[in-house]
């Protein structure tokens, strides 16, 4: 079995889809929630592939940053660096690539959430 993500067959990924995927990564967990509430967005295959994993990612980041800030205040000044990874993944999604977040994307697939 290859390590390549399973890419759903889509006729076209629009620039709007790519922009919303970028916003989902950069402004997580707020934008994934907004995407799930919008009927026209949540049914788009490219956005559907990215929305749930970015929501899980944002919630996990909030929990981890909160724990680090509470337990290790000196190191907490480095927690905003986590956003750099979100920007890198967001830019990949903006290029039209299907981004696979380690552990999270597979978890969402196993739960049939995407």
Convert the pLDDT of each residue in 61-77 to its tens digit.
999 888 888 888 777 77
Residue 79 lies in a domain: yes
Residue with tokens 């969402």, as numbered in its chain: 108
Count of structural domains within the chain: 1
Residue 1 — pLDDT band, cuts 50, 70, 90? very low
Task: Report which DSSP code applies to 44.
Answer: S
DSSP secondary structure string for all residues of 19-67: HHHHHHHHTTTHHHHHHHH-HHHHTSHHHHHHHHHHHHHHHHHHHHHHH
In a domain, 4, yes or no: no
Using one digit for the tens of pLDDT, what is the confidence trace for 21-47?
Answer: 999 999 999 999 999 999 999 889 999
The Cα–Cα gap between 95 and 71 comes to 38
Range(s) of the domain holding residue 66: 15-100+105-109
Cβ-proximal residues to 19 (8 Å cutoff; 6+ apart), any chain? 94
Residue 8 lies in a domain: no
Contacts of 92 (CB under 8 A, 6+ apart): 99
Residue 38 lies in a domain: yes
Tell me, what's the pLDDT at 21? 95
6 falls within a domain: no
Cα gap 47→35, rounded to integer Å:
8
């Amino acid at each position: 079995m290859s390590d390549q993500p399973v890419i759903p067959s889509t006729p076209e990924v629009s620039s709007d889809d790519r922009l919303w995927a970028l916003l989902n990564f950069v402004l997580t967990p707020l934008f994934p929630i907004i995407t799930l509430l919008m009927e026209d967005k949540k049914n788009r295959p490219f956005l559907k592939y990215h929305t749930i994993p970015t929501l899980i990612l944002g919630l996990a980041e909030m929990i981890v940053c909160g724990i680090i800030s509470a337990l290790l205040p000196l190191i907490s000044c480095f927690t905003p660096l986590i956003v750099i990874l979100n920007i890198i993944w967001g830019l990949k999604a903006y290029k039209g690539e299907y981004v696979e977040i380690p552990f999270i994307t597979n978890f969402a697939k196993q739960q049939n959430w995407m």
